Protein backbone atom coordinates (compact mmCIF):
# COMPACT_ATOMS: atom_id res chain seq x y z
CA UNK A 1 0.00 0.00 0.00
CA UNK A 2 1.24 3.49 -0.85
CA UNK A 3 1.63 6.51 1.39
CA UNK A 4 1.58 4.76 4.76
CA UNK A 5 3.25 6.88 7.44
CA UNK A 6 5.20 4.15 9.06
CA UNK A 7 7.91 4.22 11.73
CA UNK A 8 7.28 0.76 13.13
CA UNK A 9 10.55 -0.94 12.09
CA UNK A 10 12.13 -0.88 15.57
CA UNK A 11 8.80 -1.75 17.16
CA UNK A 12 8.55 -4.84 14.98
CA UNK A 13 12.10 -5.84 15.92
CA UNK A 14 11.12 -5.68 19.59
CA UNK A 15 7.89 -7.61 19.05
CA UNK A 16 9.77 -10.34 17.20
CA UNK A 17 12.57 -10.63 19.78
CA UNK A 18 12.49 -13.35 22.42
CA UNK A 19 11.19 -10.96 25.10
CA UNK A 20 7.57 -11.46 26.13
CA UNK A 21 5.82 -8.11 26.58
CA UNK A 22 2.63 -6.97 28.27
CA UNK A 23 0.52 -5.53 25.52
CA UNK A 24 -2.81 -3.73 25.53
CA UNK A 25 -4.89 -3.22 22.43
CA UNK A 26 -7.64 -0.63 22.59
CA UNK A 27 -10.07 0.97 20.17
CA UNK A 28 -12.64 3.77 20.08
CA UNK A 29 -15.76 3.83 22.24
CA UNK A 30 -18.90 2.13 20.93
CA UNK A 31 -16.64 0.08 18.64
CA UNK A 32 -17.93 -0.80 15.18
CA UNK A 33 -17.05 -3.73 12.90
CA UNK A 34 -13.71 -2.28 11.88
CA UNK A 35 -12.72 -1.35 15.42
CA UNK A 36 -13.49 -4.85 16.70
CA UNK A 37 -12.27 -6.65 13.58
CA UNK A 38 -8.87 -4.96 13.57
CA UNK A 39 -8.46 -5.27 17.35
CA UNK A 40 -9.45 -8.93 17.59
CA UNK A 41 -7.24 -9.79 14.60
CA UNK A 42 -4.19 -8.07 16.10
CA UNK A 43 -5.06 -9.71 19.45
CA UNK A 44 -4.96 -13.15 17.81
CA UNK A 45 -1.72 -12.39 15.98
CA UNK A 46 0.24 -10.92 18.91
CA UNK A 47 -0.78 -13.80 21.17
CA UNK A 48 0.88 -16.15 18.68
CA UNK A 49 4.13 -14.24 19.30
CA UNK A 50 3.87 -15.33 22.95
CA UNK A 51 3.16 -11.89 24.37
CA UNK A 52 0.61 -11.31 27.12
CA UNK A 53 -2.11 -9.43 25.29
CA UNK A 54 -5.29 -7.75 26.56
CA UNK A 55 -8.01 -6.12 24.52
CA UNK A 56 -9.74 -3.26 26.33
CA UNK A 57 -12.71 -1.43 24.82
CA UNK A 58 -13.91 1.80 26.47
CA UNK A 59 -17.56 0.68 26.24
CA UNK A 60 -19.67 -2.22 25.05
CA UNK A 61 -20.27 -2.89 21.36
CA UNK A 62 -23.15 -4.13 19.21
CA UNK A 63 -24.42 -7.67 19.71
CA UNK A 64 -24.13 -8.40 15.97
CA UNK A 65 -20.36 -8.52 16.60
CA UNK A 66 -20.48 -10.84 19.60
CA UNK A 67 -19.90 -13.93 17.44
CA UNK A 68 -16.39 -12.75 16.65
CA UNK A 69 -13.46 -14.94 17.75
CA UNK A 70 -11.97 -13.48 20.94
CA UNK A 71 -15.18 -11.71 22.00
CA UNK A 72 -15.16 -13.45 25.38
CA UNK A 73 -11.70 -12.09 26.20
CA UNK A 74 -12.64 -8.44 25.68
CA UNK A 75 -12.39 -6.33 28.83
CA UNK A 76 -14.79 -3.38 28.94
CA UNK A 77 -13.23 -0.39 30.69
CA UNK A 78 -16.54 1.03 31.97
CA UNK A 79 -17.20 -2.23 33.80
CA UNK A 80 -13.62 -2.98 34.96
CA UNK A 81 -12.00 0.36 35.70
CA UNK A 82 -9.68 -0.80 38.46
CA UNK A 83 -8.35 -3.77 36.55
CA UNK A 84 -7.85 -1.78 33.37
CA UNK A 85 -5.89 0.89 35.25
CA UNK A 86 -3.63 -1.78 36.74
CA UNK A 87 -3.12 -3.38 33.32
CA UNK A 88 -2.23 -0.01 31.79
CA UNK A 89 0.29 0.56 34.55
CA UNK A 90 2.19 -2.64 33.80
CA UNK A 91 1.86 -2.46 30.00
CA UNK A 92 4.92 -2.16 27.76
CA UNK A 93 2.96 -1.32 24.64
CA UNK A 94 -0.52 0.06 24.00
CA UNK A 95 -1.86 -0.38 20.48
CA UNK A 96 -4.49 2.23 19.61
CA UNK A 97 -6.61 1.05 16.72
CA UNK A 98 -9.11 2.85 14.52
CA UNK A 99 -8.84 6.22 16.29
CA UNK A 100 -6.24 8.96 16.44
CA UNK A 101 -7.22 11.19 19.33
CA UNK A 102 -7.39 10.00 22.95
CA UNK A 103 -10.75 11.74 23.43
CA UNK A 104 -12.21 8.88 21.35
CA UNK A 105 -11.67 6.42 24.21
CA UNK A 106 -13.47 8.42 26.91
CA UNK A 107 -12.06 8.16 30.47
CA UNK A 108 -9.62 5.46 29.40
CA UNK A 109 -7.82 8.22 27.44
CA UNK A 110 -6.18 9.79 30.49
CA UNK A 111 -5.20 6.33 31.74
CA UNK A 112 -3.47 5.58 28.43
CA UNK A 113 -1.87 9.02 28.40
CA UNK A 114 -0.37 8.53 31.86
CA UNK A 115 0.87 4.99 31.19
CA UNK A 116 4.61 4.64 30.63
CA UNK A 117 3.88 2.18 27.82
CA UNK A 118 4.89 3.06 24.27
CA UNK A 119 1.85 3.88 22.18
CA UNK A 120 1.28 2.67 18.66
CA UNK A 121 -1.42 4.22 16.52
CA UNK A 122 -2.75 2.17 13.62
CA UNK A 123 -5.51 4.15 11.98
CA UNK A 124 -7.08 5.58 8.83
CA UNK A 125 -8.85 8.73 10.11
CA UNK A 126 -7.74 12.21 9.14
CA UNK A 127 -5.63 14.57 11.27
CA UNK A 128 -4.06 12.50 14.06
CA UNK A 129 -3.66 14.43 17.31
CA UNK A 130 -0.15 13.07 17.92
CA UNK A 131 -0.18 11.12 21.19
CA UNK A 132 1.64 8.17 19.59
CA UNK A 133 5.25 6.94 19.67
CA UNK A 134 4.83 4.67 16.67
CA UNK A 135 2.55 5.24 13.75
CA UNK A 136 1.16 3.07 10.99
CA UNK A 137 -1.29 5.45 9.40
CA UNK A 138 -2.83 6.60 6.15
CA UNK A 139 -6.24 8.06 5.49
CA UNK A 140 -6.21 6.30 2.14
CA UNK A 141 -6.82 2.84 3.61
CA UNK A 142 -10.36 1.52 3.44
CA UNK A 143 -10.23 0.47 7.05
CA UNK A 144 -7.97 -0.17 10.00
CA UNK A 145 -8.48 -3.87 9.32
CA UNK A 146 -6.84 -3.46 5.90
CA UNK A 147 -3.93 -1.75 7.69
CA UNK A 148 -3.64 -4.64 10.15
CA UNK A 149 -3.51 -7.02 7.19
CA UNK A 150 -0.69 -4.87 5.74
CA UNK A 151 1.05 -4.72 9.10
CA UNK A 152 1.03 -8.51 9.49
CA UNK A 153 2.29 -8.76 5.91
CA UNK A 154 5.08 -6.31 6.73
CA UNK A 155 5.97 -8.51 9.70
CA UNK A 156 6.44 -11.36 7.21
CA UNK A 157 3.73 -13.35 8.91
CA UNK A 158 0.88 -13.75 6.44
CA UNK A 159 1.16 -17.47 7.18
CA UNK A 160 0.04 -16.73 10.74
CA UNK A 161 -3.36 -15.50 9.59
CA UNK A 162 -5.66 -18.22 10.88
CA UNK A 163 -9.28 -18.60 9.72
CA UNK A 164 -10.30 -16.79 12.93
CA UNK A 165 -8.02 -13.83 12.22
CA UNK A 166 -9.18 -13.84 8.58
CA UNK A 167 -12.81 -13.67 9.72
CA UNK A 168 -12.05 -10.67 11.95
CA UNK A 169 -10.22 -8.77 9.21
CA UNK A 170 -12.86 -9.58 6.63
CA UNK A 171 -15.55 -8.21 8.95
CA UNK A 172 -13.68 -4.96 9.52
CA UNK A 173 -13.01 -4.34 5.84
CA UNK A 174 -16.56 -5.30 4.87
CA UNK A 175 -18.25 -3.01 7.39
CA UNK A 176 -16.01 0.03 6.84
CA UNK A 177 -16.34 -0.14 3.06
CA UNK A 178 -20.13 -0.59 3.14
CA UNK A 179 -19.57 -4.04 1.62
CA UNK A 180 -16.84 -2.87 -0.76
CA UNK A 181 -18.61 0.13 -2.26
CA UNK A 182 -17.22 3.29 -0.63
CA UNK A 183 -14.47 5.38 -2.16
CA UNK A 184 -11.68 3.98 0.04
CA UNK A 185 -12.19 0.55 -1.54
CA UNK A 186 -9.16 -0.08 -3.77
CA UNK A 187 -7.71 -2.93 -5.77
CA UNK A 188 -5.46 -3.43 -2.76
CA UNK A 189 -8.57 -3.87 -0.59
CA UNK A 190 -9.88 -6.54 -2.95
CA UNK A 191 -6.51 -8.30 -3.03
CA UNK A 192 -6.50 -8.39 0.76
CA UNK A 193 -10.06 -9.74 0.75
CA UNK A 194 -9.14 -12.44 -1.77
CA UNK A 195 -6.20 -13.48 0.38
CA UNK A 196 -8.39 -13.55 3.50
CA UNK A 197 -10.90 -15.83 1.79
CA UNK A 198 -8.00 -18.09 0.77
CA UNK A 199 -6.97 -18.15 4.44
CA UNK A 200 -10.41 -19.30 5.52
CA UNK A 201 -12.59 -16.20 5.96
CA UNK A 202 -16.21 -17.35 5.69
CA UNK A 203 -17.42 -14.40 3.65
CA UNK A 204 -21.03 -15.36 3.10
CA UNK A 205 -21.49 -16.36 6.74
CA UNK A 206 -20.04 -13.04 7.90
CA UNK A 207 -22.45 -10.99 5.77
CA UNK A 208 -25.33 -12.95 7.28
CA UNK A 209 -24.11 -12.66 10.87
CA UNK A 210 -23.56 -8.91 10.61
CA UNK A 211 -26.36 -7.74 8.34
CA UNK A 212 -29.15 -10.24 8.93
CA UNK A 213 -29.29 -9.77 12.67
CA UNK A 214 -32.30 -7.45 12.88
CA UNK A 215 -34.96 -7.98 15.48
CA UNK A 216 -38.55 -7.39 14.30
CA UNK A 217 -38.58 -4.32 16.55
CA UNK A 218 -35.52 -2.82 14.91
CA UNK A 219 -37.00 -3.25 11.46
CA UNK A 220 -40.22 -1.60 12.64
CA UNK A 221 -38.20 1.25 14.09
CA UNK A 222 -36.46 1.64 10.75
CA UNK A 223 -39.88 1.85 9.08
CA UNK A 224 -40.92 4.50 11.59
CA UNK A 225 -37.72 6.48 11.06
CA UNK A 226 -38.02 6.43 7.26
CA UNK A 227 -41.77 7.14 7.21
CA UNK A 228 -42.12 9.63 10.02
CA UNK A 229 -38.72 11.14 10.70
CA UNK A 230 -36.85 11.61 7.45
CA UNK A 231 -36.71 15.27 6.46
CA UNK A 232 -35.33 16.58 3.20
CA UNK A 233 -33.80 20.04 3.32
CA UNK A 234 -34.16 20.60 -0.41
CA UNK A 235 -32.21 23.85 -0.60
CA UNK A 236 -29.14 22.06 0.79
CA UNK A 237 -29.58 18.62 -0.82
CA UNK A 238 -29.49 17.32 2.73
CA UNK A 239 -31.39 14.52 4.47
CA UNK A 240 -31.93 14.81 8.22
CA UNK A 241 -33.20 12.41 10.85
CA UNK A 242 -33.24 13.16 14.56
CA UNK A 243 -34.28 10.81 17.35
CA UNK A 244 -35.50 11.94 20.76
CA UNK A 245 -34.90 10.09 24.02
CA UNK A 246 -38.58 9.21 24.12
CA UNK A 247 -38.26 7.53 20.71
CA UNK A 248 -35.12 5.65 21.75
CA UNK A 249 -36.97 4.34 24.81
CA UNK A 250 -40.10 3.49 22.84
CA UNK A 251 -38.16 1.19 20.54
CA UNK A 252 -35.83 -0.03 23.28
CA UNK A 253 -32.79 1.07 21.29
CA UNK A 254 -29.45 -0.45 22.30
CA UNK A 255 -25.84 0.02 21.20
CA UNK A 256 -25.59 -0.45 17.45
CA UNK A 257 -29.33 -0.28 16.75
CA UNK A 258 -29.12 3.03 14.89
CA UNK A 259 -26.07 1.93 12.91
CA UNK A 260 -26.58 2.34 9.18
CA UNK A 261 -29.66 4.61 9.49
CA UNK A 262 -27.71 7.61 8.25
CA UNK A 263 -26.95 5.83 4.98
CA UNK A 264 -30.58 5.68 3.87
CA UNK A 265 -30.80 9.44 3.39
CA UNK A 266 -27.79 9.31 1.12
CA UNK A 267 -29.50 6.76 -1.14
CA UNK A 268 -31.95 9.44 -2.29
CA UNK A 269 -31.10 10.77 -5.73
CA UNK A 270 -29.43 14.18 -5.55
CA UNK A 271 -28.79 14.11 -1.81
CA UNK A 272 -25.23 15.16 -0.98
CA UNK A 273 -25.30 15.15 2.80
CA UNK A 274 -27.14 12.92 5.25
CA UNK A 275 -27.26 13.60 8.97
CA UNK A 276 -28.46 11.56 11.93
CA UNK A 277 -28.84 13.28 15.29
CA UNK A 278 -29.51 11.12 18.34
CA UNK A 279 -30.24 12.37 21.84
CA UNK A 280 -28.09 9.98 23.87
CA UNK A 281 -28.08 10.11 27.65
CA UNK A 282 -24.93 12.15 28.16
CA UNK A 283 -24.75 14.10 24.91
CA UNK A 284 -26.26 14.53 21.51
CA UNK A 285 -24.47 12.30 18.99
CA UNK A 286 -24.28 13.20 15.32
CA UNK A 287 -23.40 11.17 12.23
CA UNK A 288 -22.57 12.72 8.88
CA UNK A 289 -22.32 11.04 5.47
CA UNK A 290 -21.68 12.76 2.16
CA UNK A 291 -21.26 12.12 -1.52
CA UNK A 292 -18.69 13.90 -3.65
CA UNK A 293 -16.44 16.63 -2.36
CA UNK A 294 -18.31 17.80 0.72
CA UNK A 295 -16.01 17.09 3.68
CA UNK A 296 -17.89 15.59 6.61
CA UNK A 297 -14.60 15.50 8.51
CA UNK A 298 -14.14 19.26 8.30
CA UNK A 299 -17.80 19.97 9.00
CA UNK A 300 -17.78 17.74 12.09
CA UNK A 301 -14.45 19.11 13.27
CA UNK A 302 -15.31 22.78 12.75
CA UNK A 303 -18.78 22.76 14.29
CA UNK A 304 -19.46 19.64 16.34
CA UNK A 305 -16.27 18.67 18.10
CA UNK A 306 -15.84 15.59 15.93
CA UNK A 307 -14.03 14.21 12.94
CA UNK A 308 -13.55 11.09 10.83
CA UNK A 309 -13.24 10.71 7.09
CA UNK A 310 -14.09 12.92 4.15
CA UNK A 311 -17.38 11.16 3.37
CA UNK A 312 -18.18 9.77 6.84
CA UNK A 313 -17.68 11.48 10.14
CA UNK A 314 -19.24 11.93 13.54
CA UNK A 315 -19.52 14.60 16.15
CA UNK A 316 -21.32 15.58 19.30
CA UNK A 317 -22.99 18.43 21.08
CA UNK A 318 -23.61 19.10 24.76
CA UNK A 319 -26.56 21.39 23.96
CA UNK A 320 -30.12 20.10 24.08
CA UNK A 321 -31.46 18.20 21.07
CA UNK A 322 -33.53 21.22 19.95
CA UNK A 323 -30.59 23.57 20.30
CA UNK A 324 -28.35 21.17 18.40
CA UNK A 325 -30.82 20.89 15.53
CA UNK A 326 -31.20 24.64 15.22
CA UNK A 327 -27.46 25.15 15.45
CA UNK A 328 -27.01 22.51 12.76
CA UNK A 329 -29.49 24.15 10.37
CA UNK A 330 -27.95 27.54 11.02
CA UNK A 331 -24.44 26.23 10.27
CA UNK A 332 -25.71 24.33 7.23
CA UNK A 333 -26.96 27.51 5.60
CA UNK A 334 -23.34 28.62 5.22
CA UNK A 335 -22.62 25.59 3.03
CA UNK A 336 -25.33 26.13 0.44
CA UNK A 337 -22.89 26.58 -2.43
CA UNK A 338 -20.85 23.51 -1.54
CA UNK A 339 -23.98 21.37 -1.40
CA UNK A 340 -25.42 22.48 -4.75
Identify which of residues 130 and 216 has a Cβ nearer to ligand 5GP in the complex: 130
Phi, psi of 325 (to 5 degrees): -65, -45
Helix 33-48 with 144-154: angle, nearest 10 deg: 20
Which string of x and - marks every residue 5-34 that binds Mn ion (by CB under 5 A)? -----------------------------x
Neighbours of 171 (CB within 10 A): 31
How far apart are CB 297 and ligand 5GP at their closest, in Å?
Answer: 8
Separation CA 197–CA 309 (nearest Å): 27
Q: Rule CB under 5 A: is residue 146 a binding residue for Mn ion?
A: no
Neighbours of 5 (CB within 10 A): 12
In the list Mn ion, ligand 5GP, none, the entry touching 312 (Cβ below 5 to 8 angstroms by class) is ligand 5GP
Identify which of residues 28 and 303 has a Cβ nearer to ligand 5GP in the complex: 28
Identify which of residues 54 and 289 has a Cβ nearer to ligand 5GP in the complex: 289
Which residues, 283 to 312, sit near Mn ion by CB under 5 A?
Answer: none
In the list ligand 5GP, Mn ion, none, the entry touching 314 (Cβ below 5 to 8 angstroms by class) is ligand 5GP
Closest chain position to ligand 5GP (CB): 314
How far apart are CB 32 and Mn ion at their closest, in Å?
Answer: 7
Q: How far is CA 276 from CA 9, 239, 294, in A?
A: 41, 9, 16
Identify which of residues 4 and 35 has a Cβ nearer to ligand 5GP in the complex: 35
How far apart are CB 287 and ligand 5GP at their closest, in Å?
Answer: 3
In the list ligand 5GP, Mn ion, none, the entry touching 101 (Cβ below 5 to 8 angstroms by class) is ligand 5GP
Closest chain position to Mn ion (CB): 34
Q: Rule CB under 5 A: is residue 123 a binding residue for Mn ion?
A: no
Query: End-to-end alpha-carbon separation of the chain, Å?
Result: 34
Separation CA 131–CA 104 (nearest Å): 12
Separation CA 287–CA 92 (nearest Å): 35
DSSP readout, 27-58? E-SS--HHHHHHHHHHHHHHHHTT-EEEEEES
Per the CB < 8 A criterion, the answer to whether 184 and 309 are in contact is yes
Which residues, 209 to 248, sit near Mn ion by CB under 5 A?
Answer: none
Which residues, 164 to 183, sit near Mn ion by CB under 5 A?
Answer: 176
In the list ligand 5GP, Mn ion, none, the entry touching 6 (Cβ below 5 to 8 angstroms by class) is none
Identify which of residues 174 and 312 has a Cβ nearer to ligand 5GP in the complex: 312
Separation CA 161–CA 156 (nearest Å): 11
Separation CA 94–CA 86 (nearest Å): 13
Which residues contact ligand 5GP (rule: CB under 6 A)? Answer: 28, 101, 104, 125, 287, 306-309, 312-316
Identify which of residues 11 and 102 has a Cβ nearer to ligand 5GP in the complex: 102
Helix 163-176 with 203-211: angle, nearest 10 deg: 50
Q: Rule CB under 5 A: is residue 98 a binding residue for Mn ion?
A: yes
Binding site for Mn ion (CB under 5 A): 34, 98, 143-144, 176
Amino acid sequence: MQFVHDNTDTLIEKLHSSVSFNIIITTHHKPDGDAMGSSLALFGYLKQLKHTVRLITPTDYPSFLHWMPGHKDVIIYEQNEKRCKALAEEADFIFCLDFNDLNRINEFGSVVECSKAEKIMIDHHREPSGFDDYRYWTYEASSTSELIFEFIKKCGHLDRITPEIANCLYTGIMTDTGSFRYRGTSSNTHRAIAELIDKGAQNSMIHELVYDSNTPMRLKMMGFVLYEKLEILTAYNTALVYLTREELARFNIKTGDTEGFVNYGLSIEGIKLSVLIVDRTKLVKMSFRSKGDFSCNEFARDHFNGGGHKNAAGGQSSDSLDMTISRFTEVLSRYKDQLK
